[in-house]
Structure 1
Amino acid sequence: MTYPVVETSRVLVNSLPKSGTHLLSNTMELFGYQDYFSSDGYHHENPRFFTAREVKRALGPDGETANVAAEGQKFCIGPVAAYPLAVATLRQWLTVVPLQRYVLGHIPWSAGLGELLAETHYHHIFIIRDPRAVFVSRLRYILDPGAARDLYDDRKHFLENDVTDLSHADRVEFLLQGGDAQQAGVAIRSYGDAYRSALAWTQDPRCLVVRFEDLVGEQGGGSTEAQRQTTERIAAHLGLPLDGELAAKLDRIYDPTARTFKSGKIDGWKTVLEGESLERLLAYCAPLCEEAGYAP
């Protein structure tokens, strides 16, 4: 079975950066949804995806003027360098996305945002990952974004200039503790705050939360059975069946050619850091692992 037309909905594929967005994107493609910004119906003046940097680009040089809203009438976009966006603007941007599309986002939990997504006919799926793996992947990605460099004129991650000249230990500490990224001109939240802002989506019953480790499959160190079960949960959330023909294509979910792909392995983070940096990460992430249900 294929799904050539999904007429009644859109999907927000949401995550903390480096949590496996590409796995969900590929799953959406299997179900017949198309990536918003690379398909018909996308307009350049709108965000290609809902990240703080992309929202600022879409607002343009007069963004602050265009983004005026009363207190309590903004949602934060971006869990790391949060950018408050007027609710009316977000509603407009969500509404112009054609049906049968999925749009990517890094949007932390905010009271009322789940209702807005439901009102604008979005299914909402959030993918979480072991906090230690997310941190290590992000650490590597900032200095080497790979094909994602092509998304922006300066071809850099927005934090690259702030961390390049730091020692490895100082770089780890800055990304854990947060602080002022002077060259980027933004305040960076602590890693714990950013991770918890994403994990908070588990309290919204309209949001389906899945785990990277369950969706990645055997190619990424997981299991075929967990991948199948997770895909069945996604299908049920979308109101679609999962038949044998589609189940036979689940190996397409893991894709090393994805734009932001690094290693895509469940335990790959264990080989990147060592010594004091590894000890620091393990100690810092211990409470996050407990809160998210990961073994220490």
Structure 2
Amino acid sequence: MENFNIVTLPKVLINSVPKSGTHLLLQIILGIPGMEFAKANFNSFVFYAEHYKEVKTIKNGNVALGHLPYNVNLASDMNQEGIKHIFITRDLRDVTVSYMYFIINQCPEHIIYRYFTEYLKTNEERLHALINGIQLYGDDIENYGFSSFPNILNLYGSIYNWRGKQNLCELRYEDLVRNEDSQKQELLKIIDYLWDDLQHLNLAKVNLFDFMKNNINPETSWSFRKGKIGSWRDIFTKEHKKSFKDNAGKFLIDFGYEKDYNW
């Protein structure tokens, strides 16, 4: 775009709970003229906890992806480097359902894939395994190549701990997909977070909004399945609900996804 130079573009980290609209948000940011996807330096598409220091390598005009738990040093580093941190979450119950389908349909290299597809025969059993965690013993450890796998809250709960922290733009997946008005509000929130003043961009807010919105195409995302809000209701049994309440009921209340245990 004419008169649009790289210095005026932000350094952006999209940090998400997996299966929370990571690639939807990436499409939105890549709709900004001049923004490019920055593959992580260690030959991965996503920054994980053990590589959090690499986040400082994000450059102007680049957007990177992360599934990073809250880390006070990382928060300080991003603030010092002027990295714009966009943090997105989703109802952990929907994350669980989406993660199950992702493992069995798209990720044969996942550590629990063989256990999921050879030992567990139904989605009901697989959901129980993700909600409660997995513990193997004896020959099963050798057969399936792992001894234990954490429950869904222990797996991803620490990422949610960015909630309410300073110097970031906090989004919920549900607000990005609920309806046109809700999505517009979230996109405008992103724009206001990325820039205090758009004058030096030679681009009006309405035009920038259109660029971002028009770049949304979920069907081009390799990990997209349905993206439905409340999909857990279609598959959770009474036993799943009880197990989820036992493991993460308080979490859902604390993070505003439920008011109480009566769901």
Percent identity of equivalent pairs? 25
Tell me the SS of whatever aligns to 1:107.
coil
| Aligned equivalent of 1:160 | 113
Q: For each residue in 1:158-189, what CA deviation from the matched residue of structure 2 results, as whole angstroms up to 9, or x when unmatched?
A: 32123222244443233123345754547533
Matched, 1:228 2:191: no
Matched, 1:266 2:229: yes
Change (3 A) 1:90 1:135: closer
Aligned-residue offset at 1:286: 3.2
Specify which of 171, 177, 190 is matched with residue 132 of structure 2.
177
Structure-1 separation of matches of 2:250 and 2:3: 41
Q: For each residue in 1:114-154, what CA deviation from the matched residue of structure 2 results, as whole angstroms up to 9, or x when unmatched?
A: 01222333111111111111111111111012xxx5xxxxx
Gaps of 5+ in 1: 52-76, 78-84, 150-154, 217-221
Contact 1:109/1:201, CA 8 A, preserved across alignment: yes
Give the length in aligned residue pairs.
Answer: 242
Structure-1 separation of matches of 2:186 and 2:145: 38
* Higher helix content, 1 or 2: 2
Structure-1 separation of matches of 2:224 and 2:16: 14
Tell me the SS of whatever aligns to 1:11.
strand
Structure-1 separation of matches of 2:214 and 2:245: 32
| Aligned equivalent of 2:201 | none
Gaps of 5+ in 2: 199-203
Structure-1 separation of matches of 2:217 and 2:193: 21
| Letter of the 2:47 counterpart | F
Contact 2:52/2:68, CA 8 A, preserved across alignment: no
| Aligned equivalent of 1:35 | 37
Give the TM-score normalised by the residue count of structure 1: 0.71
Structure-2 separation of matches of 1:292 and 1:90: 24
Alignment of 1:54-133 (within 5 A): 77=49, 85=50, 90-91=52-53, 93-133=54-94
Contact 1:35/1:101, CA 8 A, preserved across alignment: yes
Change (3 A) 1:133 1:251: farther
Specify which of 129, 149, 167 is matched with residue 188 of structure 1.
149
Name the larger-Rg structure: 2
| Aligned equivalent of 2:44 | 47
Contact 2:12/2:63, CA 8 A, preserved across alignment: yes
Structure-2 separation of matches of 1:284 and 1:239: 40
Matched, 1:245 2:199: no
Contact 2:15/2:65, CA 8 A, preserved across alignment: yes
Give the TM-score normalised by the residue count of structure 2: 0.78
| Aligned equivalent of 1:12 | 13
Aligned-residue offset at 1:225: 1.1
Aligned-residue offset at 1:194: 3.5
Q: What RMSD over aligned residues (CA atoms) do the two structures have, in Å?
A: 2.9
